[in-house]
Structure formats: C-alpha cells, structure tokens
Amino acid sequence: MFRTTIKFACALATLAAAGLAAQAQDYPSRPVTFITPAAAGNSPDVVTRIVADRLSQMWKQQIVILNRPGAGGLIAAQAAAAPGVEKDGYTLYMTQASTYTVLPVMQEGKMNVNLQTAFAPVGMVGEQPIAVAVNKDVPVSNVKELIAHAAKNKDPMLFGATNRGGQAHLTGELFRNRAKANISFVHAAGATASLNDVIAGRIPLMFEGLAGLSPAIQSNSVKVLAVAALKRLPNRPDLPTIAETVPGVVSSGWIVLMAPAGVPDAIIRKVNADLRKVVAMPEVQERFHTLGTYTRDLTPEQTGEFMRNEEKLWWPIVREVNKAQGVK
C-alpha cells in the first residue's frame, strides 16, 4: 500500500511538472503587463520600453507598460504585489535600484510590502553607472588629482547630485567614505539644476549618470573624470573607472525584471532566456549605450545574488547618511 501511494505521488509530480513545462512553452498566450516605478519619458522608462518592444515582437504578444512612480518606488511595488495579481507571469515588475537599496532603510518597519519575499528575480535588464564630473575650470584631470585638490581646501568641496538619497547622491557618499575625500553634498532641485550649477561654477563637482551628463559632455561644458562601473565601458574605453583609483567604488542605477513570488519557475526561466537574448541584440546595445545603460548576462539566481550584494553595500551607507542628517 505504501509503495503504491509513493508511485501515485511520483506520477502526480511528473504530471504536474509536465503541465508546468507545457505552460511555460506556451507562454505568453496573451498580453503581458510590466509595472515600473519609472516616470514616463525618463531614462529607465525608455530602457523598459526598448526591452518591452523587442520582447513583444519575439512573443507576438502586446506588452502593456504601467508607470507607477512615487514614494521611492513603493507605489509600483505595492501594485505589483497586490493580492489580486495572479501568479501566472502575466504581470511582471520592472524594479529600480533605489527601491531595494534605499527604500527598505528609509521606510524601515513601515512598509506593507516585504520586497525580499514578495518578488522573485527574473533577470538583469541594465545598469546605468554613475560618473564623476567637474567644472571645466577645476584644475584636475583624474580622480587622484580630485582627491588631492579637495584635501587642500579647509572647507569641503561641494558636490551635487540628482536628489537627496538617490543613487547619484549615494555614490558621492560612497566615494567620500572610501577615498576619505574632503567633499560634501549640496542639495539641488534635480539633475538639471546640479548640472547647471557645475557648468556655471557655482559648485565644482557632481555625480550623475552618463545620460544626464550627455548634453554637457557634447558641449564640452564639464570634465568627466571617471565612471563608477565595474569595468571600463565598451563604448568609452578611454574613460577610467573610479575603482581604478579608489577600490570598491562601483555604483549604478540598475533595472531588474522581477516576478511576483509564486510564478512557476519554468516561466521565470523562459522570460530570463528571452530577456537575455533581447538585451544582447546589437541594436538594443547600441540604443542602451546612448542612454548610458549597459547589460549583464545573468541567470535568475545570479540576479538575486547581485541584488543581495547591492543591499549589503548600500544599506549601511543610507543609514550613515540618515544619521548625519538626524533622520530616524
């Protein structure tokens, strides 16, 4: 009787596995929704739409983009984890770095979504590494000279960034921490305001993604000293990485595709495989590069490991910034 029960259970498991495999093979058979915290028209939104367009062509199904910006990414996370969302892979979540690197610290104990259990990683879409740039009249040409120049000043050298608590700001704080650099953040009303301040010489230094710096780079209005990428960029091999001078300063605003927890693993792996094909397309890479975006070829497991490492890196930095600002 026991052996019969075991055989029956194994048969059921085999049938279930075959059913899930068939489900994944047929996926998607209807439109898919991507929920994103990106505001319509900004760089992560454009990246999302490039990927969605290619996946839509591959799948021969429409992909609907739902922009849910606000609250540091919490609104989009809540929408993607809502009780009514089916665990069938037809609603996916295009998250951004700050939702995982900043929000859990800023909203510690207050969030109604557990990001670590509500979602499963699908794959890496792209990273937007942060660069360090100075006013063209600042007498430095590399990171080593920047650190030495800042050290000569009695008062800290001011740096701008997109917004307080954003990836660019945190990159500056990480750089200050690792390089022991005599620099200090000054708040401005967004990337454009910071860039204009640097161009005009009101502040000497800023941290920002290459896409945000692009107009000033093209007009030769600022000097880009280095980029906080893991390695030199394929389309900018002449641009050093910050880590070549200050080890450990690697920072990007990344975009990762997630699925609500409970979506069958076979579907996650199919989407991962298709996503990796899309981001590897030469025409997609070319468009990404114009947006300061670069890809990594990662499995779901590798994507999850990458995200956990990012949390380990950034949570202490965010807590340090909060402590310095008296935020509890």
Phi, psi values for residue 254, rounded to 5°: -100, 160
**Per-residue confidence (pLDDT) for residue 7, from 0 to 100:** 63
266/119 same-domain check: yes
22/93 same-domain check: yes
221/264 same-domain check: no
* Tens of pLDDT, residues 171-191: 999 999 999 999 999 987 777
263/215 same-domain check: no
Listed ranges 16-25, 99-108, 160-169; the one with the highest mean pLDDT: 99-108
Note the Cα 266 to chain centre separation in Å. 25
Computed on alpha carbons and rounded to an integer, the radius of gyration of the chain in Å comes to: 22
Name the pLDDT band for 215 (thresholds 50, 70, 90): confident
- Residue 258 belongs to what domain range? 16-127+252-322
| Pairing outcome for strands 183-185 and 63-67 | unpaired
Cα(220)–Cα(233) distance, integer angstroms? 20
Task: Flag whether pLDDT at 10 surpasses 60.
Answer: no
**Per-residue confidence (pLDDT) for residue 11, from 0 to 100:** 55
> What CATH number is attached to the domain comprising 108?
3.40.190.150
The secondary structure of 275-316 as a DSSP string is HHHHHTSHHHHHHHHHTT-B-----HHHHHHHHHHHHHHHHH
* Tens of pLDDT, residues 57-98: 999 999 999 999 999 899 999 999 999 999 999 999 999 999
The answer to whether position 154 is within a domain reads yes
107/211 same-domain check: no
Tokens describing residue 255: 């975009």
190/291 same-domain check: no
Domain tally, the chain: 2
101/166 same-domain check: no
Task: Flag whether pLDDT at 18 surpasses 60.
Answer: no
- Residue 214: enclosing H or E segment and its boundaries? helix 210-218
> Which of 251, 266, 283 lies at the terminal end of a domain, its last residue?
251
**Per-residue confidence (pLDDT) for residue 1, from 0 to 100:** 58
Q: Lowest-pLDDT range, 22-31, 137-146, 275-284? A: 22-31
The answer to whether position 3 is within a domain reads no
Task: Flag whether pLDDT at 310 surpasses 60.
Answer: yes
117/257 same-domain check: yes
Task: Flag whether pLDDT at 197 surpasses 60.
Answer: yes
Cis? peptide before 28, omega within 30° of 0: yes
Task: Flag whether pLDDT at 137 surpasses 60.
Answer: yes
Q: CA 217 → CA 73, 136, 243, distances in Å?
A: 29, 11, 21
> What CATH number is attached to the domain comprising 149?
3.40.190.10
Look over the chain and give the mean of its residue pLDDT values, rounded to a whole number.
91
In the chain, % of residues over pLDDT 70: 91
